[in-house]
């Protein structure tokens, strides 16, 4: 039995509000012919505050891809270990108990992966497996949960550590003036999350079945154009419509497990934006309140990419968790267009009821 334990989440200390975002858009894009549309779209995200690794004055500068990537590495090394330690403490494990580290990020690049530095810096065993995932974007949080589940299924007494580190603000491109880019400037935030999947014992979600689904011919709907200036985010206006084709995949995953996706007890869903959550509520036939954890993440932190799913789960824990035996669905969505999904039951100290 693999159990996803309580996530630890940290956001940077610099905060930008919705009002500040709108004023910056008016100031920097005063002559943009579609500025009124961009402002309306940003307001409709419902994002009230976001956290970023630098003051906004520094974020708006572009010193070059090299300097930004160095900042990504420096901030990751400064911030990630404490988040990991809290996740280990919550799971009642030591670094010596971890068998694989799954590190996900789409906002900076390191080789060797941060996993190698973590193994040395935090005294994980030298034979700890490393699984960095860099190109699944926001779906990587769900993929990390699924790969941890797979690993603990193959090695039932093993434990996996998931780490998501996203500094979306380091991908800001001042010369990108399309509506998708302007919307992204008001949607994405920075955050770090970590969680342990225990092969035996633990309190949280007992992972029972996982799956992946890619909508055909949508690989250019969410993408990076990699240039000398870094990662340029491309967002197609059709992305908000993707829940209609993805909802059947969620129904199929639950149905293959003998469950009805419309009748589960809790839902932990990637909050790409309010339209995503509204449409999924409609096509899954569940009450909008079922996605309250995801909406809270979106409102308070914005879209923190792969870390969203773990933060939404953290909010379920903060609410007191679910009842032993309660059934739930976790899902992350990202480039491809890809869905990474899992279903499981709430367990307390390794016991579901």
The CATH number of 204-347 is 3.40.47.10
**What tens digit of pLDDT does each residue of 3-38 get?**
999 999 999 999 999 999 999 989 888 888 888 998
**Top-tier CATH class for 2-198:** alpha beta
Please give the pLDDT value at position 183.
Answer: 86
Give 166's pLDDT tier (boundaries 50, 70, 90): very high
All residues at 6 or more sequence positions from 292 whose CB lies less than 8 Å from its CB, including other chains: none
Phi-psi region of 244 (alpha: psi -120 to 50; beta: other; left: phi over 0): alpha
Please give the pLDDT value at position 180.
Answer: 83
Q: How far apart are CA 275 and CA 330, in angstroms?
A: 18
**Mean pLDDT rounded to a whole number for the chain:** 95
Q: Is the pLDDT of residue 138 over 90?
A: yes
Using the 8-state DSSP alphabet, how is residue 239 labeled? G
Q: Is the pLDDT of residue 114 over 90?
A: yes
Q: Is the pLDDT of residue 129 over 70?
A: yes
Q: Is the pLDDT of residue 286 over 80?
A: yes
**What tens digit of pLDDT does each residue of 185-235 get?**
889 999 999 999 999 999 999 999 999 999 999 999 999 999 999 999 988
Catalytic residue among 138, 152, 165, 168: 138
**What tens digit of pLDDT does each residue of 43-60 get?**
899 899 999 999 999 999
Please give the pLDDT value at position 353.
Answer: 52
Is 223 strand, coil or helix?
A: strand
In the residue annotation, 138 being an active-site residue is answered as: yes
Please tell me the least confidently modeled range out of 93-107, 142-156, 268-282, 328-342: 268-282
HSE (CB half, 13 Å, CA atoms) of 122?
26
Give 352's pLDDT tier (boundaries 50, 70, 90): low
More confident residue, 237 or 12: 12
Domain ranges in the chain are 2-198, 204-347
């Amino acid at each position: 039995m693999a159990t996803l334990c309580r996530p630890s989440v940290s956001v940077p200390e610099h905060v930008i509000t919705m009002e500040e975002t709108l004023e910056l858009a008016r100031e920097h894009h005063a002559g943009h012919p579609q500025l009124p549309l961009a402002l309306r779209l940003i307001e409709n995200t419902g994002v009230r505050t976001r956290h970023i690794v630098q003051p906004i004055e520094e974020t708006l500068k572009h010193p070059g891809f090299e300097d930004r990537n160095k900042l990504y590495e420096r901030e990751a090394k400064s911030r990630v270990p404490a988040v990991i330690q809290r996740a280990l403490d919550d799971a009642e494990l030591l670094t010596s108990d971890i068998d694989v580290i799954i590190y996900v990020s789409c906002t900076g690049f390191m080789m060797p992966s941060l996993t190698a530095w973590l193994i040395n810096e935090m005294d994980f065993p030298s034979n700890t497996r490393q699984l960095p995932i860099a190109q699944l974007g926001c779906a990587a949080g769900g993929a990390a949960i699924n790969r941890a589940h797979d690993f603990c299924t193959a090695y039932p007494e093993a434990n996996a550590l998931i780490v998501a580190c996203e500094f979306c603000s380091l991908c800001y491109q001042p010369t990108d003036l399309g509506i998708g880019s302007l919307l992204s400037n008001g949607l994405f935030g920075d955050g770090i999350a970590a969680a342990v999947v225990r092969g035996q014992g633990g309190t949280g979600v007992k992972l029972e079945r996982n799956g992946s689904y890619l909508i055909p011919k949508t690989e250019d709907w969410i993408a990076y154009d990699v240039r000398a200036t870094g990662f340029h985010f491309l967002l197609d206006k059709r992305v908000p419509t993707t829940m209609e084709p993805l909802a059947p995949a969620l129904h199929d995953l639950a149905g293959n497990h003998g469950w009805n996706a419309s009748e589960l007890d809790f839902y932990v869903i990637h909050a790409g934006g309010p339209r995503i959550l509204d449409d999924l509520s409609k096509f899954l036939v569940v009450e909008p309140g079922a996605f309250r954890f995801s909406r809270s993440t979106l409102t308070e932190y914005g879209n923190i990419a792969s870390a969203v799913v773990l933060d939404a789960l953290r909010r379920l824990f903060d609410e007191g968790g679910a009842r032993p035996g309660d059934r739930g669905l976790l899902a992350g969505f990202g480039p491809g267009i890809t869905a990474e999904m899992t279903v499981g039951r709430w367990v307390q100290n390794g016991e579901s009821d």
